[in-house]
Amino acid sequence: MASQPETEPDGLQLSLPELRLRVQDFLKEYLKERSPETVGTYRRSLNEFERWFVREKGGFRFRKKDVERYKKYLMEERELHQVSVSTYLTAVRRFCQYMVDIGLLTENPAVGVKGNRRPADHSRKVLTQSEIDALLKVLSTDDEIARRDRAMVYVMLLAGLSEIELVRADVQDLEQTLMGWYLRVQGKGRTTKDQHVPIDPPVMGALRLYLDARGRIRPEQPLFVSHGHRSSGERLNTRSVRSRINELLKLSKVKRPGITPHSLTHTAALIWLNDGMPVDEVKQRMRHGTLDTTMIYYRQQGLLTGGDGG
């Protein structure tokens, strides 16, 4: 029988296969009395942890400071909602407790790393009308990159697409119907492009300007690509999208606490509501599962025209 691993002061180091085996046992044995939905939540949360673990290249050793670094990554780099951060940390905390119970850890390093309290209002604030105007004002059409970034802002701010939907989109997903243009999207947690987002004329105009600048394009190519020297033509990833949008938010002096690239997507709902769009249609456009989610935006309508935000 193997000796009990030493967890202090250097912490416990696991290989990726060992981690995956422990996670599998945790989900199967430790959570066997839980519902399939709960187990699924833990599995998805620990999948995120595993991605971070791989990225650390052996640097994660199950110490409090390592868990705190993971929390910082979730908050600052992933820019996740505070509720999501708490969910991911809860999964790590329970997983670490499982390893304490089976003798792999002497103490739970995640106990002292708490998730943030759920805020009274949305942590991802929305843009005010003056901030929308400021952001649109700094957009340019000077070159391919400028036209691409302008189109990305338009599809997030005026069509309500999220970063992941934008990244997954291909040129062939744009479809013209008798009712106008639509974009087939694959949302977060979905496996197929089974949702259709209306693309209004201003957004389609921005997309056309960008696609025309790219010249001949095959239908299966990504809708948004890199134009860098080394990665030209490659599909943009969410990190790149986030970086470009953040640059524009800073350039327009719109960047402030609570304003992230995802704020553009949230702002779209308020723009539509302030323009008089029925709540049911806003729900459909935002792909909300319930009307309750849309009503959160309905109650926030005044934020769009309420001064400079804050």
Q: Give tens-digit pLDDT for 26-48.
A: 998 888 877 787 888 889 989 99
The one-letter amino acid code at 67 reads V
Question: Can you give the residue ranges of every domain in the chain?
Answer: 16-101, 129-305
Classify residue 252 by its DSSP letter: T
Three-state DSSP at 185 gives strand
- Is residue 246 within 8 A of residue 186, CB to CB? The reply is no
Q: What is the pLDDT of residue 123?
A: 41
Mean pLDDT of the chain: 84
What strand order describes the sheet that includes 180-185?
A: 174-177, 180-185, 195-199
Arithmetic mean of pLDDT, 37-61: 87
| CATH superfamily placement of domain 129-305 | Intergrase catalytic core (1.10.443.10)
User: Band of the pLDDT at 3, cuts 50, 70, 90?
Assistant: very low
Separation of first and last alpha carbons in the chain: 59
pTM of the full predicted structure? 0.60
Residues 6+ away with beta carbon under 8 Å from 134: 252, 253, 254
Sort 38 into a burial class: Cβ within 10 Å, 0-12 / 13-18 / 19+. exposed
Distance CA(231)–CA(79), nearest Å, equals 25
User: Band of the pLDDT at 161, cuts 50, 70, 90?
Assistant: very high
Q: Give tens-digit pLDDT for 228-242.
A: 777 778 899 888 999
Indicate if the pLDDT at residue 8 is higher than 60: no
Q: How many CB atoms lie within 10 A of CB 280?
A: 10
Report how far apart, in Å, the C-alpha atoms of 29 and of each of 19, 21, 23 are.
15, 12, 10
